[in-house]
Amino acid sequence: MASQVRLDADLTFDVQDGPHRISGTVRAAGRHIEVRADGLEAVVGGMPNASVRRWAAELAEHDLTLAVGGPYGLAVVLGAVRTPWWQRFLTRSRHLRIENLRAAAGLAAAQRRRRRAPVLLEGVTLPPGTVWPPMMLRPKRLRPVTTTHDPDGGGAPRLYFCDVTDPRFPGPISEFLLPRGTTRIGSDASCDLVLHGTDGLQAEIMCTDDDEYVLVARSETILSTVAGRQLPRQTLRTGARLQLGSWRMSYVRDEYADHGRPYGGRIGGELGRQRTQPTPPNRTGPSF
């Protein structure tokens, strides 16, 4: 089955090659292409007759027509055309039709001279057609479902925080990158993240053996909440809103390492029940 090719073009060209200057147009609509140049040698002047015949046969295979014209009008049409028997005898091709004898004579003269002028069609081939029927070229393979645990603990887990003692004038937003292990947060100078106005040890953020970051509340006098909830331990997810005293925080981790559920996403909905991910082979399991 011949591949279906459709073209749409309206181009004007003007080429300077040493002393030669060639100008013309290329127009295409559907299956018909028309090339007009001020010199036929610019179009097929350096192509042997055999190459022209091959070009015409390839165009016919794709059900396309190419009309070539010069100063005296259209000379020949190549491709899917009806050619009189006497023209087939002259051109030795049933895919070439002479439109204008005077223009065709100029084309024949150009073929005999074979000047080294720019050849617009030489070396040009049609694009490959679409495989028919359209279908997958490779067989479908079932891929195993894997976890999204990052063996290197990546994702740049971090906190963005500011002091909102006066909600009308919150303090500047700062960033804190969470390291592996445990991060101590409080007002004591020995804490990893020192925040004034909080308890000496307000809370800890732990990186568990299954590569999750968990907030553990330590203060009994000042609240530590995640999304408004006060629990002893809460797993953090990207976008989680933390409140430690007058400090408001947002937890962020890049998606590929923010495991979520199930298997790296909340596709089951916030109220859906999904199985948990198995423990990565290089870890022993939750540390709490």
Where are the domains positioned within the chain? 7-113, 158-257
Residue 107's pLDDT is 61
Residue 62's pLDDT is 83
- CB–CB of 219/202 below 8 Å? yes
Nearest 10 degrees: CA dihedral of 263, 268, 271, 274? Answer: -50
Residue 87's pLDDT is 78
Residue 243's pLDDT is 93
Give the residue from 185, 169, 152 showing the smallest Cα distance to 251. Answer: 185
Span 158-257 CATH architecture: Sandwich (2.60)
List per-residue pLDDT tens for the chain, 288 residues long. Answer: 445 677 888 888 777 666 667 788 888 888 888 888 776 555 555 555 677 788 788 888 888 888 887 766 777 888 888 888 887 777 788 888 888 776 666 666 655 554 444 445 544 555 555 555 555 555 556 655 555 556 567 888 999 999 988 877 778 889 999 998 899 999 999 999 999 999 999 999 999 887 889 999 999 899 999 988 888 999 998 889 999 999 999 999 887 777 765 554 454 455 556 566 666 665 555 443
Residue 108's pLDDT is 63
CA of 63: how far to CAs of 59, 128, 242, in Å?
6, 14, 68
